[in-house]
Amino acid sequence: MALKVYNVLSRTKQDFVPLNPGIVNMYACGITVSGDAHIGHAYQSVVFDVITRYLRYLGYDVKYVRNYTDVDDKIIANAARANEDPVEFAEKYIAQTDIEMDKLGNEKPTIMARATHCIDDIINFVQKLIDSGHAYVSQFGDVYFKLSSFNEYGKLSHIQVDKNDTGVRKETEPGKQNDLDFALWKSAKPGEIAWKSPWGMGRPGWHIECSAMNLKYLGEQIDIHGGGRDLVFPHHENEIAQTESLTGKQFAKYWIHCGLVKINGQKMSKSLGNGILLKDVLDKYDADTIRFALLRNTYSADIDITDSLFPESRRHIYKMYSGLMALNERDFSGADADKTNAKIDEIKNEFERAMNDNFNTLEVIASAFGWFNFINTELAKKSTEYDLKRIGNKIVELFGVLNILQKNPDEYINNIKSTVLKNSNITVGDIEKYINERAVAKQNKDWATADNVRTKLLDKGIVLKDTPNGTTWDINL
Ligand SMILES: [Zn+2]
């Protein structure tokens, strides 16, 4: 069972064979910190976090580089609007995003690169492109990549561009020779943040930043380059043009792109005002719930964040943790070791088959429903031949690749319960009082009052269960 990866460059699913045996160098385009991170950023970061974790599970030594774009037009404009210094503005959002990514359960990438920390590398890169005839300096101190100098332009996106088109939007970018040429270095407007360069004061363009950081941290050729699908054109196409013009070698062997986020079936956009901020989701839901929701999808497909997505996801996670918790209350010492081992192998194979098929986390989660059904069915029996505790441990171990189900089940269940109680504005003491009130009503055969109590609690998300040992309660997710 070898890993197969859908390569956007070849548009086929290919066997994954890294450039150097045992080592994977991966770069994924990160966030432009012009404001709060949104759910689209969360989706992309979780996808590449899980890809990294699975490659490590397979035994690869993975170096994962991710960047923060910490200087660009939008950051400068938003900082000005907020009356803040653009560097401090970017710092603030980087610090905040770091905390949110950690809360989301993402492992820190091997290197978190930043554009403003690589200015010398960017300037060197641009100078080399000028020296080799792939770029030119305008009379205004801007540097442009000369698109007609790179024959393979369009090979990733399959977008055909007329490289000899000379239509120039002189009013927006004076000094450009060809409309399709793109900026490598932008001369500074008065008062703007700027760095010294051979072409005057200015700052890097967005595309060159990623090419320069790749070269600096990972070398001329890398195994995987990733990002959201919206980056294929022109960002990644431009990265290829820059890097391959400089090195004369193929840049990334595999290009992996995740789908985009929709909100209740609609494109997420500023104009629709339907954006969801990561911090707001993290306020309401725990990382297991969010990751489960985002990974119950094939990464290359768009994901639809419906109103019911996270609540439903939390229900599943709650059930899974409850299943794991129940395993601690039983003794499996008489179990059949061979049967248990066979079941564990079956689960491991199902997991690896799904993940080896282009990191199919949707399939993993679908299989996991089957595994938990198996556990619950066996648990319901008076006795079982399986050591369900060992099987549960294996599931938890495999789910480590998704970074889901890694918490102590008792703690998780208690946390969810207290969140629900807090949101419903009710305490355990209140619930116990209601239960007593209902018991008294039932004793007096006052069924209306008893029903009333039950309904009142249900409205607050609390469900009562009458057992031979008295009435217990649970949350009704
Ligand atoms: Zn990039």
- Measured in angstroms, how far is the CA atom of residue 455 from the centroid of ligand 1? 54
pLDDT tens digits for range 13-72: 999 999 999 999 999 999 999 999 999 999 999 999 999 999 999 999 999 999 999 999
- Measured in angstroms, how far is the CA atom of residue 95 from the centroid of ligand 1? 20
What structural domains and CATH numbers belong to the chain? 4-135+145-161+207-266 (3.40.50.620), 308-408 (1.20.120), 425-475 (no CATH)
Q: Which residues contact 325 (CB under 8 A, 6 or more apart)?
A: 409, 410, 413
Q: Are 241 and 159 in contact (CB under 8 A)?
A: no
- Measured in angstroms, how far is the CA atom of residue 191 from the centroid of ligand 1? 27
- Measured in angstroms, how far is the CA atom of residue 200 from the centroid of ligand 1? 25
- Measured in angstroms, how far is the CA atom of residue 454 from the centroid of ligand 1? 55
- Measured in angstroms, how far is the CA atom of residue 157 from the centroid of ligand 1? 15
Is 168 a residue whose pLDDT tops 80? no
Give percent of the chain above pLDDT 70.
98
Task: Check residue 165 and give its pLDDT.
Answer: 61
Task: Check residue 331 and give its pLDDT.
Answer: 93
Is 169 a residue whose pLDDT tops 60? no
Nearest residue to 109 via CA among 119, 124, 97: 97
Nearest residue to 141 via CA among 203, 191, 77: 203
pLDDT tens digits for range 260-313: 999 999 998 878 888 999 999 999 999 999 999 999 999 999 999 999 999 999
Is 173 a residue whose pLDDT tops 90? no
- Measured in angstroms, how far is the CA atom of residue 53 from the centroid of ligand 1? 21
Between CA 37 and CA 31 the distance in angstroms is 8
pLDDT tens digits for range 373-392: 999 999 999 999 999 999 99
- Measured in angstroms, how far is the CA atom of residue 172 from the centroid of ligand 1? 24
- Measured in angstroms, how far is the CA atom of residue 106 from the centroid of ligand 1? 19
